[in-house]
Amino acid sequence: MQESIFSESEAHLPEDLEEGAARVAQAGAGAILTLSDSATISYRSQIAAAAFRNRLPTIFSNKAYLAGGGLMSYGANIQDAWRQAGVYTGQILKGAKPADLPVVQSSKFELVINASTARMLGLTVPDKLLATADEVIE
């Protein structure tokens, strides 16, 4: 049975990126999972670069992060979420009370794999995973 390591690390962006990536790599982490917020999207390239220098694959919550060199993303389709926001806005403009509108969870999720980053990290992405991906970036 393979041992797993759960590590939570806080980093102040962007000044703590190099130290934070090195710290989690030394602790034995096998990858970095980055949650989506305004700071992490702004520094996506720096996050991916610091992780890459420490040989850590990165996993993000949406594909916008992969433009910075991340390995993969899995999460709600952002375009679909904005479309749903537009539907809500239209209902409110037509007189619906926001408190009366149902809460809607995203129904479209997408897996995107950056094959170029995988190659640079020396990783082989299984063919089954590539076949199930919604998009593969070469």
Q: Predicted confidence band at 9 (pLDDT cuts at 50, 70, 90)?
A: low
- The number of C-alpha atoms within 13 Å of 125 and in the hemisphere containing its C-beta is 23
Tokens representing 81 are 């979420």
Using a pLDDT cut of 70, give the percent of the chain over it. Answer: 91
Predicted TM-score (pTM) of this structure: 0.76
Q: Which domain holds residue 66?
A: 17-77+108-137
**Is there a domain that residue 84 lies in?**
no
Burial of 126 (0-12, 13-18, 19+ CB in 10 A): exposed
pLDDT for the residue numbered 14: 72
**Is there a domain that residue 34 lies in?**
yes
In the chain, the amino acid numbered 36 is S
Q: Predicted confidence band at 15 (pLDDT cuts at 50, 70, 90)?
A: confident
pLDDT for the residue numbered 6: 44
Which of 113, 39, 40 minimizes the C-alpha distance to 70? 113
**Is there a domain that residue 88 lies in?**
no
pLDDT for the residue numbered 2: 37
**Is there a domain that residue 93 lies in?**
no
**Is there a domain that residue 82 lies in?**
no
Q: Which residue has the tokens 């990126």?
A: 17
CATH number at residue 42: 3.40.50.2300
- Tens digit of pLDDT for each residue in 52-74? 899 999 999 888 888 878 899 99
**Is there a domain that residue 1 lies in?**
no
**Is there a domain that residue 91 lies in?**
no
Which of 45, 72, 46 minimizes the C-alpha distance to 61? 72
pLDDT for the residue numbered 126: 96
How many domains are there within the chain?
Answer: 1
**Is there a domain that residue 94 lies in?**
no
- Tens digit of pLDDT for each residue in 78-111? 888 889 999 999 999 999 999 999 998 888 899 9
Nearest-angstrom CA–CA distance, 25 and 62: 23
31 against 68, higher pLDDT? 31
pLDDT for the residue numbered 3: 40
